[in-house]
Chains A and B, each alone.
Chain A
């Protein structure tokens, strides 16, 4: 699928900040739900062949999402997110850290700031991740590297079947 929707990914190495901007061909409410409702998040957060499994998500200030990336072999890598600020359909902030299966975070984690805005039916999401460390990036990449390029082709087929349901 080709589209001309914006996608930027930049890293400021000196301040350890990651910027991710992306536009979606959908309305603001829908995109907001896709980022804030666990049943939708789990459908896309895990880059295939990994899947996202949310054990619980309490989307309110002070609430947490405890979730795992599950490998095709069933290995689970847990993370915990804590919501620190929510302005419905506009912005939410959270802290994000790896965790063990008993919800103990591996601190320090990174701080996320997500902004949502809609223009002419296109919704732009701007994500800023502060205090990202190379060690953590390495862990993320290392986990996903198996079958990562291969999976991109599978993905199209898989989602086509989903769509036709």
Chain B
């Protein structure tokens, strides 16, 4: 199943993780230290974020560091902009349709 990015960022813990690693790459243990949940739960969140390609992993020595894929975050916005354009086009059409309906009655 395809992961939904909206779903990924809908979770408060995952949003907090994003905020943390936006500053610097971090290991899962260092991330988990910031939360009152289990490491397993943090790993699960990291896995979801990884599946959505919002974070990337990098091996440094024996540790894995997680960092934020800023481009991916930007991509979401670009994407939403396309959706906005659809609405814009639709409404521009409606403007004209409203004009045509109005006129004959006068």
Interface residues of A (CB under 8 A from B): 1, 3, 5, 7, 9, 11, 13-16, 18, 20, 22, 24-26, 30-31, 33-34, 40, 43-48, 132-135, 137-138, 140-141, 144-145, 148, 151-152, 155, 159, 162-163, 165
A47 & B102 in contact (Cβ 8 Å cutoff): no
Asked if A159 and B90 make an inter-chain contact with CB atoms under 8 angstroms apart, the answer reads no
CB–CB A152/B89 < 8 A: yes
Pull 12 A–B residue pairs with CB atoms less than 8 Å apart, ordered by A.
Answer: A13-B5, A13-B9, A18-B83, A24-B91, A24-B95, A26-B99, A45-B90, A137-B83, A141-B79, A148-B86, A152-B92, A155-B92
Total residues of chain B contacting the partner, CB 8 A: 33
Label chain B's interface by main secondary structure: helix
Of the candidates B88, B96, B101, the one having the most CB atoms from chain A within 10 angstroms of its own CB is B96
Q: Which residue of A lies closest to B104 (CB)?
A: A165
User: Do A163 and B93 touch (CB < 8 A)?
Assistant: no
Q: Whole-angstrom distance from the CB of A96 to the nearest CB of chain B?
A: 14
Q: Is the CB of A163 within 8 A of B103?
A: yes
- A-side contacts of B80, CB under 8 Å: 11, 137
Is there contact, CB below 8 Å, between A40 and B97? yes
Pairs A-B, 9 closest by C-beta atoms? A159-B96, A44-B93, A47-B89, A9-B84, A26-B98, A44-B94, A134-B6, A16-B6, A44-B97
